[in-house]
């Protein structure tokens, strides 16, 4: 696992960011994209210089999109492979659930590629994935492990998008699209957790029964009680467990890549 090489993947050259000087030009370019994408609110304003909103940005918007694309590649390939493996996912309810999740992850990949391209960026290549994490897991041979990794990927996805929202604030279109993906990941996470017999929400920083120790990084920090400087247990009758369930916590890019990096081969 080479986190620094992964981080380098998201560095976008300044000339790419400045590829569009006007929204009009961006929209003109957008016209060449398919109907499916054009129907959605497409991110096109990320290269514009003026921002009316003040915030501390830790990553450029195009880098955020490529970061998100990497996670979506990972999820999409995981489910595509799982569905293709005969006898892995039980027919009926389970299969229907994962077909729906896979459809969304594939849609997210296509949407992000189109959005990055329309914004003048270059979508990152799909990395090589190793879902065994160097033979530590056997998700396509053991359905319980498939379920456990699905839960880890979805709960990570929720935290990853949340951690990047502020980096997208200068573009209403981008921010809203990212939020619209974020809540879909949350729906997936809830459903996979419940399929595994857990609650749909995260109590304290518990990874939940049957989750491998290696996935604990996905849940660290979820036991936070303080929101906006307020310890919520001091202003509400709801106890600590309920308060931690009520607020999902973000992860930084570095934290996400430490988790996702377990499954990404960086050797060429």
Residues near other proteins (CB under 8 A) are: 36-37, 39-40, 53-56, 92-93, 96-97, 99-101, 103-108, 110-111, 158, 161-162, 165-166, 169, 172, 175-177, 179-191, 194, 199-201, 227-228, 230, 232, 235-238, 242-243, 245-250
Smallest separation, CB 59 to other proteins (Å)? 13
Smallest separation, CB 185 to other proteins (Å)? 8
Nearer to other proteins, 6 or 175 (CB): 175
Closest alpha carbon to 170 in 78, 45, 75: 45
Residue 22 in tokens: 């006007």
| Orientation angle between helical segments 93-118 and 23-30, nearest 10 degrees | 130
Smallest separation, CB 267 to other proteins (Å)? 31
Smallest separation, CB 138 to other proteins (Å)? 26
Phi and psi torsions of 22, nearest 5°? -140, 150
- Size of the chain in residues: 268
CA 75 – CA 69 distance, rounded (Å)? 10
CA 261 – CA 62 distance, rounded (Å)? 20
Nearer to other proteins, 26 or 189 (CB): 189
Nearer to other proteins, 45 or 66 (CB): 45
DSSP code at position 204: T
Smallest separation, CB 39 to other proteins (Å)? 8
- Residues 6 or more apart from 142 whose CB is under 8 A from it? none
Nearer to other proteins, 5 or 245 (CB): 245
Nearer to other proteins, 50 or 54 (CB): 54
Residue 165 in tokens: 């929202």
Smallest separation, CB 232 to other proteins (Å)? 5
CB of 168 within 8 A of CB of 178? yes
CB of 251 within 8 A of CB of 159? yes
Nearer to other proteins, 49 or 237 (CB): 237
Closest alpha carbon to 231 in 243, 217, 241: 243
DSSP code at position 211: -
Smallest separation, CB 167 to other proteins (Å)? 9
Nearer to other proteins, 14 or 228 (CB): 228
């Amino acid at each position: 696992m080479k986190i620094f090489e992964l981080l380098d993947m998201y560095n976008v050259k300044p000339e790419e960011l400045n590829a569009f000087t006007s929204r009009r030009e961006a929209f003109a370019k957008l016209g060449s994209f398919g109907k499916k994408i054009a129907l959605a609110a497409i991110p096109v304003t990320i290269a514009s210089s003026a921002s009316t909103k003040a915030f501390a940005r830790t990553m450029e918007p195009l880098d955020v999109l490529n970061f998100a694309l990497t996670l979506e590649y990972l999820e999409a390939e995981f489910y595509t492979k799982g569905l293709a493996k005969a006898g892995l996912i039980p027919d009926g309810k389970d299969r229907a659930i994962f077909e729906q999740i896979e459809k969304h992850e594939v849609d997210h990949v296509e949407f992000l590629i189109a959005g990055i391209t329309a914004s003048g960026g270059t979508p990152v290549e799909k990395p090589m994935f190793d879902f065994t994490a160097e033979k530590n897991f056997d998700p396509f041979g053991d359905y319980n492990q498939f379920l456990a990794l699905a839960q880890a990927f979805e709960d990570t996805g929720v935290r990853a998008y949340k951690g990047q929202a502020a980096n997208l604030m200068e573009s209403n279109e981008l921010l809203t699209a990212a939020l619209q993906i974020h809540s879909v990941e949350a729906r997936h996470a809830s459903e996979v957790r419940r399929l595994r017999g857990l609650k749909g929400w995260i109590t304290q920083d518990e990874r939940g029964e049957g989750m491998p120790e290696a996935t604990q990084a996905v849940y660290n920090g979820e036991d936070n009680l303080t929101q906006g400087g307020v310890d919520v247990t001091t202003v509400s009758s709801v106890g600590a467990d309920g308060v931690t369930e009520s607020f999902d916590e973000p992860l930084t890019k570095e934290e996400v890549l430490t988790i996702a990096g377990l499954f990404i081969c960086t050797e060429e």
